[in-house]
């Protein structure tokens, strides 16, 4: 079974530029997540999709970050314009989408995209 | 908003058991405990999860206390490849897919 794919693996941009990241989840997984991981910290959830609908984007800086999941499969995360503090690893994860009050779901992560903003 | 507490780092000799503790004193009745690890420059990797009972798989064992306020991840025979940051996670009560990652425990396995 293929894992979660992400591209690019590395990106260096200057502040105020735009950047986009792409994620292809595990086939059949209904739920897709984007996390931001700053050096030395654990991942922080930015946005969560269930199929092509947004479930949680409470920690997404909406003035500069946007994300979409067209057709409920692939997803892109965009930053426009980038700031120095956006330097981080951006992780994509997917899960079958089976979680409920008495059931659980396991998230599978991609390798991440390391963004450096100069 | 991390709901777990872990020591920042631990050392373990190669071939010995590594016991990684986690406190989750505010856990509620239907919240699962998950463990992930992150090897340098890779995405987090799922290890194991549990609700009330102890669990074991090919990677590790998970021991959850009876009151569910803490748990321990056990790697029975640590190898150098087990050097990683280990995250203990509980999911959100209102969003069953939402994980809160803390800062984790950096496990250093030494020869």
B32 to A108: CB separation less than 8 angstroms, yes or no = no
Average pLDDT over residues B98-108: 89
pLDDT band at B31 (very low <50, low <70, confident <90, very high): confident
pLDDT at B51: 87
Chain B hits for A107, Cβ within 8 Å: 46, 97, 99
- Whether A25 shows a pLDDT value over 80: the answer reads yes
A61 contact partners, CB below 8 Å, separation of at least 6:
none
- DSSP secondary structure code for residue A73 in this structure: S
pLDDT band at B100 (very low <50, low <70, confident <90, very high): confident
Q: Express each pLDDT in B32-68 by its tens digit.
A: 899 999 998 899 999 999 988 899 999 999 999 999 9
pLDDT at B48: 95
- In 3D, which of A40, A23, A1 has the Cα closest to residue A75? A23
Residue of chain A whose Cα is closest to the Cα of B87: A42
Neighbours of B30 (CB within 10 A): 14
Query: Where would I find the H helices in B1-111?
Result: none
Q: How far is B105 from chain A (nearest CA, A)?
A: 10
Write down the mean pLDDT value for chain A.
92
Q: Express each pLDDT in A83-118 by its tens digit.
A: 999 999 999 999 998 766 666 788 999 999 999 999
- In 3D, which of B110, B53, B60, B65 has the Cα closest to residue B83? B110
């Amino acid at each position: 079974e293929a894992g979660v794919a992400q591209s690019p693996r590395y990106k260096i941009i200057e502040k105020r530029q735009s950047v986009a990241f792409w994620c292809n989840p595990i086939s059949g997984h209904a739920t897709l997540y984007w996390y931001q991981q700053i050096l030395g910290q654990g991942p922080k959830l930015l946005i969560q999709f269930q199929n092509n609908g947004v479930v949680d984007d409470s920690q997404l800086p909406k003035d500069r970050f946007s994300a979409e999941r067209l057709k409920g499969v692939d997803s892109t995360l965009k930053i426009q314009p980038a700031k120095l503090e956006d330097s981080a690893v951006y992780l994509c994860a997917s899960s079958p989408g089976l979680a409920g009050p008495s059931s659980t779901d396991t998230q599978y992560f991609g390798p991440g995209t390391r963004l450096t903003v100069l | 908003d991390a709901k777990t507490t872990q020591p920042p780092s631990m050392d373990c000799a190669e071939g010995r058991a590594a016991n990684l503790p986690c406190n989750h004193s505010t856990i509620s009745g239907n919240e699962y405990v998950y463990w992930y690890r992150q090897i340098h420059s890779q995405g987090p990797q799922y290890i194991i999860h549990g609700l009330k009972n102890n669990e074991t798989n090919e990677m590790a064992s998970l021991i959850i206390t009876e009151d569910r306020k803490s748990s321990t991840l056990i790697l029975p025979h640590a190898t150098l490849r087990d050097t990683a940051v280990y995250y203990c996670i509980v999911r959100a009560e209102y969003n069953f897919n939402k994980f809160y990652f803390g800062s984790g425990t950096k496990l250093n396995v030494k020869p």
